[in-house]
Chain A
Amino acid sequence: MKAKEITAIVRSLKGVMFTSTGMRDAGQSDYKNRLRIHDLQTLCEHYNETNFFSAECHGGARWHVGVMNRKEGPFEEIRILREKMPNVLLQTLIRETNLWGYRPYSKNVIEYVVERVDIDVWRCFSFLNDVRNMKTVAEVVMKRDKLFEPAISFTQADWTTNEYYLRVTKDIVKLCGGHEHIILCIKDMAGVGSPERIYSLIDAIKQKYPELIIQYHRHATDGLALPAILAAARGGAKIIDVQEDSLTRFYGQAPVLAAHAYLEESGIPVHINADAAEKAVEKVRAWINNYHWAESPFKGFDHTVVKHRMPGGAFPSSFEQAQKGGFLNFMPAILKVMSLFNQIIKYFDVTPGSQITWVTCSGIINLYAKERGEAGVSHIIKLLQKFVEEKKQDFKAMSKEEQAELLTIFANAPGDFKNLILGHYGKLPQGWPNEWVYKSAFGEEWQQKIKERKELSPLDTLPEDDLDKIRKEFDELLNRESTEEEFILYLMHPKDALGLIQFRENYGDSSLVLPTNVWHEGLKHPGDFVEFEHRGMPYCIELVSIGSENDGIIHVVMRINNKTMVHPVETPRVKKTEIKIAKKPNEIGAPIDGTVWRIGNSERGAIHPGDIVHKGEEICNLEAMKMENAVIAPFDAKVLEIAVKLNATIKEGQLLFALEKISLKSN
């Protein structure tokens, strides 16, 4: 269906439709995006009957966490969902120029990627509400006649007035060339909009653009999700984001069955097949208990979110980092600093802004904690409170010592923070921060840095990438030709894409076929088994025994389709014989596995360190299975090091020689 046809149908409905975030944001907000497609796909048959407007199942951090942690590819997820719920519009969440990564990509990368992803509804947000940054995504999506859903990042602050949002909306409508073929999303990503505020905002937009379809996306963090969505519907929102009641914890969306009942009772018809929705809710209960390990360590609603504004999608991962980093006890302090920070530097706490805020603020607290303990932590909070709340950010009103201290707090801020205030991500919604912030971040270079600050969108400043060259580098790393999908994964997250490909080469489709308890913890006791189907064939893996560790190896005996096999598993304590691999251009590696039977050649005899060798000269000879393989000097060189001994058994790629290139003139 064409974008315009879809919006026309939604517009003609009395009442509202729901978008389910059960397959993306729900899992991101309460389960760190660990909900696996193996389980989520069990909901498909019900989604296919529920009459959702769309299913948000893609994008956001789900992409990266899939590649990095779940070892699932975003493309294979789409294929599975398409096959199992053909009636449902698949929706992604994309971060304008940052796509599904954390930094701005060049225009040609954005075009290449957006053209190649099979998604129906493209919800696109800017953490700066810098609408210019959405241009390329918008153009490609609309050209494909997919539904473009620009989102305005919402927060509740003194400067985020209706007038401000009407300006943003105007920019969006202009960018899209009208408002009939798009849906405007209000993205309340932290769950801070009070019911009155939401009603007022949507009402204001609807008065200006009566035909514009508005979708309200809201997290539940403050505990007020249900009244807020009722207010949104009353204000004129046509689509509301919900998730399965049984998935609901604290930071995701409103529960679908509750929202349905509440809106209907309030006289707002909801176009949904509640029976099918209920079946999906029940289905979740079959597997959700396998994810207790993925839940946020911070439990319960948090109304103080209206101050610190940490988005629902970042909640569990931030707390996890705090736990891993051993500073969970400082979380209240960090949240407090965040609430002050976001008054000094104004943007929206959503990716990548939320990460920048988090790293910057947790960095400040950790530094003070390390140097001066708890006293230091309360000191810095007091200082910032005084500056922001008491002195209303009047830098000169602070004492000399206080000024000096403020000038140190961004000195160790992350590079992304510095890039942000230099305009690398786009324009800040309320203009650039005050000068003292630049002094603090850049010290003596501050004036120079302000001069370099970019006023244009990264779309206009980033040079195009040489895709052929990057693809070639990638193919070389893979040692084979990459597929287009692999290449896109690589463009987004190079290191993690390689990790995923490596994982799949070693462990096949484990991440797709194994049930979650086995995926996460394996088989526990002798006789435990797992049955699954893979590519249409039945399989069974049964544990026979797990041996005790010896020399860093544990032998696991399993019956694989009734055949007993022993798998030696290496623990971190395994002894590894280090083999030096030739890596640099001046290092000569072994072309094959074999034995070194001659160093040098038959004419000149042995070669020693310090000797000069000529281009094309045989410098050693390897033998394997009675075949000889000469190793040839690639250039005129001096031998720096001979890394192997005569008659040694060597592996392919192992370092044989280190050479120093020299030029030998004939006269």
Chain B
Amino acid sequence: MNKKIKKVLIANRGVPAFRVIHTCRDRKIETTAVYSTPDRLATHVFLADSAVHIGEAPPIESYLNKERIIDAALKSKSNAIHPGWGFLAENHEFAQMVIDAGLIWIGPPPNVIKSMGDKIQSKKLAAKANVPTIPGVNGVKSAADIEKWMKTEKVKYPIILKASKGGGGKGMVKVSHSKELASAISKASSEAKKAFGDDKLLAEKYIEYGRHIEVQIVADNHGNIIHLFERECTIQRRNQKIIEEAPSPSIDETLRNEICVTAVRLMREIGYVSAGTVEFIFDPDTRKFYFLEVNTRLQVEHGITELITGHDIVRNMIDIAQGEKLKFSQPDIHPNRWALEVRINAEDPKTFNPSFGRISRLQLIPGHSVRVAQGVYEGSEVPPYYDSLIMLIMTSGANRQDAISAMERTLSRNLRIEGIKTLTPLLLSIIRHKAFQTADFSTRFIEEHIDELVSTLDETCVDDELHKIARFVAEVSALGPRNWM
């Protein structure tokens, strides 16, 4: 195979577009950005070499509009498409359409996306590869179906409902009691339909104090499947990760080896190619891990793996898509530091309600050991239609404590965002929390500690105070002495 990538269209916006375009620039590959109407002046548009308008605000008309995106690729003379994460990244139909249009798909083969996208099928394949799985039932339509399964397999509440096609927390609903079941099914299937176009659900036993550990895989077309070790993504809110780290503080070397080898075994079984992730839920009491799902895409948190291994995963994806062999083998991978990532989401840090509007001020002073992926700029709009992630901040250090200290430094005085609310104050309280610092947590960490976390949110910064004073000077200068004086 000789498919030289000359120009890449990034079928995405915000942080993922930012990330992919940067590697393309390292490789001297030209890029095309696509944008919806409200994103006309968005960050990613101006990072690319060219940009194409693909439709109106609703995702279905723009970033999920397969035909328009492929047209944009052809029109801009791009010969490859990278989907980033979210939107069409795990849409096998789109991947096939890209290939059928004579373009290079920078991602796993459509059939692999399809088989792993179906939660039920992926679980079967995992079981076949001798990977431990959580008890569950597929294709759920009614409460009766679920109750029957629970009875047969002796499963007790809580359980969790998920979109069969899903990922990223959308369409996931936890059910703690039989009386919540009916409304949970209706909510989960509606969200599943909206996010993934399919309302089929999967029900599973819910492991209450589990930890989320995942293994990064890169695989080429020549049978080389290599893992880049694991990440711990236990700190979540509403089933969405907000803090990730690598390596995992929850496991020892033996378990680490076991979980990584298991992931490779699974990916080999399913014929995986490109970068992907095998997700596990880890039960610290029994020290057992169970297969959750395979993410057939680049993940938000891939950057911390890049920080500990030194490898550029997007670069690997491009190499693999060009048909190249991986230039390294498993023994070449030596993680040699600790990395931490936080997701700066445009959300209220107390309620997690989304926040959108114009970013009136954005100041970030990244010092040493800090990596940033920024999907917005000072003055830009955060529109209400898309994902709330506006920025990723990663830090690294020789050990976990160093990485945490660098993060605290970066989030406290060195980051100011005004005009919208962000998770920043909450992220700061989490990393300062004793339980986080001793890695004593589960996926329920935030709900369990929310009051305590919220009570320590406020941090006034001299600089913010200055801007309040400046606002007063502006008003009195423009309007004259105020009538209440």
Chain A contact residues, CB within 8 Å of chain B: 34, 68-69, 293, 506-510, 513-514, 518-524, 530, 534-535, 537, 539, 541, 543, 546, 554, 556, 558, 560-561, 565, 567, 569, 571, 591-595, 602-603, 618, 624-630, 649, 652
Specify which of A506, A543, A625 lies most central, judged by the most chain B CB atoms within 10 Å of its CB: A625
- B191 contacts A by Cβ under 8 Å: yes
A624 with B477: in contact, given A506-B471, A508-B469 (CB under 8 Å)?
A: no
Which residues in B have their C-beta under 8 angstroms from that of A537?
A: 462
A567 with B191: in contact, given A535-B465, A624-B354, A627-B170 (CB under 8 Å)?
A: no
Taking the closest CB of chain B, its distance from the CB of A35, in whole angstroms, is 13
Extra contacts besides A521-B476, A571-B478, A593-B384 (10): CB < 8 Å: A506-B468, A510-B468, A534-B469, A535-B462, A567-B474, A594-B384, A625-B387, A627-B354, A628-B190, A628-B191
- B195 contacts A by Cβ under 8 Å: yes
Which residues in B have their C-beta under 8 angstroms from that of A534?
A: 462, 465-466, 469
Specify which of B170, B347, B385, B472 lies most central, judged by the most chain A CB atoms within 10 Å of its CB: B472
Find out whether the CB atom of B474 lies under 8 angstroms from the CB atom of A569. yes
A592 with B477: in contact, given A506-B471, A560-B467 (CB under 8 Å)?
A: no
Find out whether the CB atom of B353 lies under 8 angstroms from the CB atom of A556. no
Bound Cα distance A560, B191 (Å) = 46
Bound Cα distance A652, B484 (Å) = 29
Which residues in A have their C-beta under 8 angstroms from that of B194?
A: 626, 628
Find out whether the CB atom of B469 lies under 8 angstroms from the CB atom of A510. yes
Which residues in A have their C-beta under 8 angstroms from that of B470?
A: 541, 558, 560, 565, 567
Q: Which of B191, B384, B466 contacts A539 (CB 8 A)?
A: B466
A624 with B485: in contact, given A546-B478, A558-B470, A558-B473 (CB under 8 Å)?
A: no
- B355 contacts A by Cβ under 8 Å: yes
Which residues in B have their C-beta under 8 angstroms from that of A530?
A: 473
Find out whether the CB atom of A561 lies under 8 angstroms from the CB atom of B170. no
A-B contact pairs, 13 of them (CB 8 A): A508-B468, A509-B468, A510-B473, A522-B477, A565-B470, A567-B470, A567-B471, A569-B475, A593-B355, A624-B356, A624-B384, A626-B195, A629-B353
Find out whether the CB atom of B474 lies under 8 angstroms from the CB atom of A625. no
Which residues in B have their C-beta under 8 angstroms from that of A510?
A: 468-469, 472-473
Interface size counted on chain B using CB atoms at 8 A: 44
Instruction: Give per-residue flags for B237-252: 1 if the beta carbon is below 8 A from chain A beta carbons, else 0.
Output: 0100000000000000
Which residues in B have their C-beta under 8 angstroms from that of A628?
A: 187, 190-191, 194
Interface SS of B by simple majority: helix
Bound Cα distance A558, B170 (Å) = 44
Taking the closest CB of chain A, its distance from the CB of B143, in whole angstroms, is 14
Find out whether the CB atom of B187 lies under 8 angstroms from the CB atom of A513. no
Bound Cα distance A603, B186 (Å) = 9
Taking the closest CB of chain A, its distance from the CB of B85, in whole angstroms, is 13
Taking the closest CB of chain A, its distance from the CB of B338, in whole angstroms, is 31
Q: Which of B186, B361, B469, B478 contacts A556 (CB 8 A)?
A: B478
Bound Cα distance A639, B154 (Å) = 44
Bound Cα distance A546, B475 (Å) = 10
Bound Cα distance A569, B479 (Å) = 8
Taking the closest CB of chain A, its distance from the CB of B57, in whole angstroms, is 10
Q: Which of B183, B190, B356, B484 contacts A593 (CB 8 A)?
A: B356
Which residues in A have their C-beta under 8 angstroms from that of B331?
A: none
Task: Give the 5 A-B residue pairs with the shortest CB-CB distance, closest first.
Answer: A522-B477, A508-B468, A567-B474, A522-B476, A592-B353
Bound Cα distance A561, B462 (Å) = 13
Instruction: Give per-residue flags for B343-357: 1 if the beta carbon is below 8 A from chain A beta carbons, else 0.
Output: 000110001011110
Q: Which of B183, B346, B479 contacts A571 (CB 8 A)?
A: B479
Bound Cα distance A602, B188 (Å) = 12
Taking the closest CB of chain B, its distance from the CB of A598, in whole angstroms, is 9
- B386 contacts A by Cβ under 8 Å: yes
Taking the closest CB of chain A, its distance from the CB of B24, in whole angstroms, is 27
Find out whether the CB atom of B475 lies under 8 angstroms from the CB atom of A624. no
A507 with B469: in contact, given A535-B462, A602-B190 (CB under 8 Å)?
A: yes
Which residues in B have their C-beta under 8 angstroms from that of A593?
A: 353-356, 384
Which residues in B have their C-beta under 8 angstroms from that of A554?
A: 478-479
Q: Which of A507, A518, A625 contacts B471 (CB 8 A)?
A: A507
Which residues in B have their C-beta under 8 angstroms from that of A594?
A: 354, 384
Residue of B whose beta carbon sits closest to that of A603? B186
Which residues in B have their C-beta under 8 angstroms from that of A522?
A: 473-478, 480
Bound Cα distance A513, B475 (Å) = 16
Residue of A whose beta carbon sits closest to that of B355? A593
Taking the closest CB of chain B, its distance from the CB of A571, in whole angstroms, is 7
Which residues in A have their C-beta under 8 angstroms from that of B462?
A: 534-535, 537
Residue of B whose beta carbon sits closest to that of A567? B474
Residue of A whose beta carbon sits closest to that of B191? A628
Find out whether the CB atom of A626 lies under 8 angstroms from the CB atom of B469. no
Residue of B whose beta carbon sits closest to that of A553? B478
Bound Cα distance A524, B476 (Å) = 10
Bound Cα distance A69, B462 (Å) = 24
Taking the closest CB of chain B, its distance from the CB of A652, in whole angstroms, is 7
Bound Cα distance A546, B384 (Å) = 32
- B388 contacts A by Cβ under 8 Å: yes
Q: Which of A68, A293, A603, A624 contacts B484 (CB 8 A)?
A: A68
Find out whether the CB atom of A518 lies under 8 angstroms from the CB atom of B479. no
Which residues in B have their C-beta under 8 angstroms from that of A571?
A: 478-479
Which residues in A have their C-beta under 8 angstroms from that of B386?
A: 625-626
Find out whether the CB atom of B465 lies under 8 angstroms from the CB atom of A509. yes
Find out whether the CB atom of A509 lies under 8 angstroms from the CB atom of B469. yes
Residue of B whose beta carbon sits closest to that of A539? B466
Find out whether the CB atom of A561 lies under 8 angstroms from the CB atom of B466. yes
Which residues in A have their C-beta under 8 angstroms from that of B355?
A: 593
Q: Which of A34, A507, A508 contacts B485 (CB 8 A)?
A: A34
Residue of B whose beta carbon sits closest to that of A506? B468
Find out whether the CB atom of A626 lies under 8 angstroms from the CB atom of B170. yes
A69 with B485: in contact, given A514-B473, A556-B478, A626-B387 (CB under 8 Å)?
A: yes
Taking the closest CB of chain A, its distance from the CB of B306, in whole angstroms, is 26
Bound Cα distance A541, B186 (Å) = 56
Taking the closest CB of chain A, its distance from the CB of B12, in whole angstroms, is 14
Q: Which of A524, A595, A652 contacts B477 (CB 8 A)?
A: A524
Which residues in B have their C-beta under 8 angstroms from that of A627?
A: 170, 238, 354
Find out whether the CB atom of B469 lies under 8 angstroms from the CB atom of A514. yes
Residue of A whose beta carbon sits closest to that of B482? A520
Find out whether the CB atom of A523 lies under 8 angstroms from the CB atom of B477. yes
Bound Cα distance A603, B185 (Å) = 12
Bound Cα distance A474, B203 (Å) = 46
Which residues in A have their C-beta under 8 angstroms from that of B473?
A: 510, 514, 518, 522-523, 530, 541, 558
Find out whether the CB atom of B472 lies under 8 angstroms from the CB atom of A649. no
Find out whether the CB atom of A652 lies under 8 angstroms from the CB atom of B353. yes
Bound Cα distance A399, B463 (Å) = 74
Residue of A whose beta carbon sits closest to that of B470? A560
Specify which of A293, A510, A571 lies most central, judged by the most chain B CB atoms within 10 Å of its CB: A510
Find out whether the CB atom of B477 lies under 8 angstroms from the CB atom of A546. yes
Q: Which of B472, B474, B478 contacts A514 (CB 8 A)?
A: B472
Bound Cα distance A76, B469 (Å) = 18
Which residues in B have their C-beta under 8 angstroms from that of A535?
A: 462, 465
Which residues in A have their C-beta under 8 angstroms from that of B191?
A: 628
Find out whether the CB atom of A521 lies under 8 angstroms from the CB atom of B481. yes
Residue of B whose beta carbon sits closest to that of A528? B477
Bound Cα distance A508, B473 (Å) = 11
Which residues in A have their C-beta under 8 angstroms from that of B354?
A: 592-594, 624-625, 627
